[in-house]
Structure 1
Amino acid sequence: MKRIILIAACGLMGCTHTFAQEEEPKLVVKPSGRILMDAGVMHSSDPALDDQLNDGVAIPDVRAGLSATYGKWKAKVDVGYARQSVSLKDINIDYNFDKENLVRMGYFVHQYGLQSGTSSSFKISMEEPLANQAFFNSRLLGAMFLHAGEKFHATASLFAENDAMKMSTDKLGNEAWGAMTRLVWRPLTERGKIFHIGISGAYKKGEIKDFVDNDTKIIFELNQEPGMKGSLKTANSASDAFILQYYEEPDAMKAAFGHKLSLDEWTKIAKIKDVYGDVLFTAPIVAVNVAHPLLQYMYDELNTDSRKFTFLCGHDSNIASVDAALGVEEYSLPNSIEKKTPIGSKLVFEKWVDNAGKTYVAVNLVYQSTDQLKQMSLLDLQHAPQVYSLKLKGLTQNADGLYTFEDVNNRFMQAIRAYDEIK
C-alpha cells in the first residue's frame, strides 16, 4: 500500500509541473504617478526685504502613467505636467530576453555616461560633464539594446534627432539620426566596495551641415525660452567647448588639437557664441519678454533704500537680454577673446550719491581678461578685473561716466512697460 501511495504522489507532482509550464502569461497593468508639492513661508528681520518676500504654495511637477507586463513584454507610458505645460515623458516597449538582456523601443532616456543611468533625483555630480552637453539628450526616439551582467554593462542605441517628437517632417526636413553606446566593466561590486570603469561614445549624422548659414530655425514655445535648430546651434556648442578648452589648457597648440591658431582666430571662434546669443535673445520684442522678470526684480532692488548689495546669478543669455531691453549700445570688450559676455562676467549697477545728495548710477560690465582666465589669477586691488562702462542709447553720462538715477529708473520702467504692450 505504501508503494502505491508514493507512485501516486510522484505522478501528481509531475502533472503540476506540466500545468505550470503550459500556463498562459497574464497581462498586468499598474498605474503610476507622483506629485511634487512645495510650500514656503518667508520672513526677514529687514523690513524692506520682508516686504518683497512672498509666501506661497506650488505644484512644480505632476506625473501620471501606466505600466503593463505580459510575459517577456513590458510597456510604459508616462506624462508630465509642469508650469501649465503638458509633456510626454517615457513612452516605450521592452522585450526581455532574460534577466540580463533586453531591447527597448520608443521615446526614453538612452544611456550615455553615468548621469543618464540614474534618475534626475540622483545626479552623480553637480556640474554636467562637457561630453554630456555635446552628445547626450534627455529623451530620444529610438531603440536600445541593454546588457546588465554582474561584471559587464553595455548598451547600444540607434535614435532620431531630438526634434523628431516636436516637429512634423514638413517643417523638420530629413531627420538626422545617430548612435550611442555605453560600456562598463565592474570588477568589484562587493557591499561597501565598488569600482567600475567605463566609456561612452556617440555619433550623429545629418544634423551638422558644414555650418551653412541658411538652415537656422528659431523655435518659440509658450512659457519657454527661445530655442534654435540648425548649423548655428551646432557651431555654438563647438565654440563653447573650444573656448573652455583654450582657457583650461596652458598649451595653446594642445587646445587647438595640434593647430597653431592666432589670438585673432580664437576671437573669431568666440564670436560664434556672441552671434548665437544675439540671434536668440536681443531682438527687441524677445529681449523685453525674456528679461521681464529680471528687470522687475532689478528695478525693485535699485529702489530699495536700505539695500547695500544684491547678487543675482544667471547666464550670458540673461545679460544679453537685459542689455538689449535697456537699450545698451553696441560694444566690444578689450583684452578678451569674448567680446560680449566673457565667462564669469558681471553686469553691475552702482549707485553713487554726491555731496549735494543727488543719486547717480554707473552701468559697467566687469570681467576677467583672457590672460587672467588662462592664468587663473587671484583678483585684488593690485590685480583688478576689467571694468567696461556701458552706454545707454539716448541717455547722457556726466564727466564721471554716470547716469542720473531718474534716467536709469525711467529706462527700466520703459522696458518693463514694453512687456505689457506686447499683443
Structure 2
Amino acid sequence: MKDKLTLMIPGPTPVPETVLKAMGRHPIGHRSGEFQTIVKRTNEQLRWLHQTSNDVVVITGSGTAAMEAGIINTLSYGDKVLCGSNGKFGERWVKVAKSYGLDVEVIKAEWGQPLDPDIFKQALESDTSKEIKGVIITHSETSTGVLNDLEKISKYVNSHGTALMIADCVTSLGACNVPMDLWGLDVVASGSQKGYMMPPGLSFVAMSEKAWKASDKSNLPKFYLDLKPYRKTAAQNSNPFTPAVNLYFALEAALAMMEEEGLDAIFNRHARHRAAAQASMKAIGLSLYAADGFGSPAITSVVPNNIDAEVLRKEIKNRYDILLAGGQDHLKGKIFRIGHLGFVSDRDLLTAIASIEATLQTLGLNNNMGAGLAAAQKILH
C-alpha cells in the first residue's frame, strides 16, 4: 500500500495533521504585523519549553547549524574546550571545534557507554588558571541511544566559574527534562524535526546571559550564524533574514500542542515508551546497545542476534512499511534503532514491536512470538 510509511527513526519524526495543516497555509510577509504576532507567541512558547527566562533564537537551518552557532558565538580562536565524544555526534562537535581553531581536549567513552562526569570534574578542578572556556557535550547521543548525565556535568562546569556549558539537546529537548536555568546551561541547541514534531528546517539556540557576555568577546568568523542580529530582531518580533515562514506556522501549532499536553506528561510519555521498547526487545531475546540505565528517551538501540541489522531493517520496511534507523559508521549492520521521539503513540510503538517479532519469526529467528508485545503492554497498559 502506498503512502503508508511509518517513521520510527530519531528524525525526521512523525508530524501531526494539525501541524501539517498549519504549515500548508499561504505564506505571509515576514515583515508584516501578522507574522510579528506569530514570532512573539513562539518566542514565549520556546522559553516555556526550554524552562528559561533567557532568549531562544530561531535559525532557518538544521540542528548542526544551531550547535555550530552556539560554539562560534561564545568562543574565540585558540580557546581551550573539553568536548565529550561517545558517538557520532560527539565526534562531530570535536570536528567543528577543531575546524575553528579551538584547542580541543577530547573526553571519550566507548560507543554505547555514557560519558563519565568525574573525568570532566577532574579536568575542571585541575584547571586552576581557568584556561578552559567551554565544555561541549551531546545530551542524547542519537547514534548509540545513550543519554549522558548533562545535569551532573553542568554542575561541575558551573563550579569552575569560567567555562561555558554548551549542550547538544537535539534529541533530548521535548523528550526529557532539560531545565536550562535550573541546571545552569549556557547554550542549548535543538532542531525542529525531533521532539518539536515538525519537518526539518528550523533550529533553536538558547543562550544564558553568561553566554551572551562571552559573545561580545568572540572573534570566530560568522555572518549568517551571528546570533547577535537574531537576538536584536527577536526583541522586535522579527528575524534578521528571510525566515521559513510556513515552518513558523508549524512551530506555533506544534508548541501549542505541547503546551496542551504539558511538560511532565510529555516527559512521562517518552519515559514509558523507552521502558516499553527496552522491555520488549529483552523479551524477544535481543540485547540493548546502550549501557543499562542510560538509555535515551528518544531512541532505543538494539543488537540483533545472528542477523545483519540492515537485512532486518530492509525486511521490516518491505513487509510493513515501517522505517527503523540503522547503525552508523562501524555500527552499520550491527545495530538497529527504534525511534520513539515526538509524535509517537502507544499504537505506533506496539506496531513496530509486532513487526520486529513477525519478521524475526519469518526469518526463523524468533520462536517466542508475542513475548515482546506482552512485555511492552505491561508497561503501556
Does the pair score TM above 0.5?
no
Structure with higher helix content: 2
- By relative contact order (CA 8 Å, sep 6+), the higher-ranking structure is 2
TM-score by length of 1: 0.22
Structure with higher strand content: 1
TM-score by length of 2: 0.24
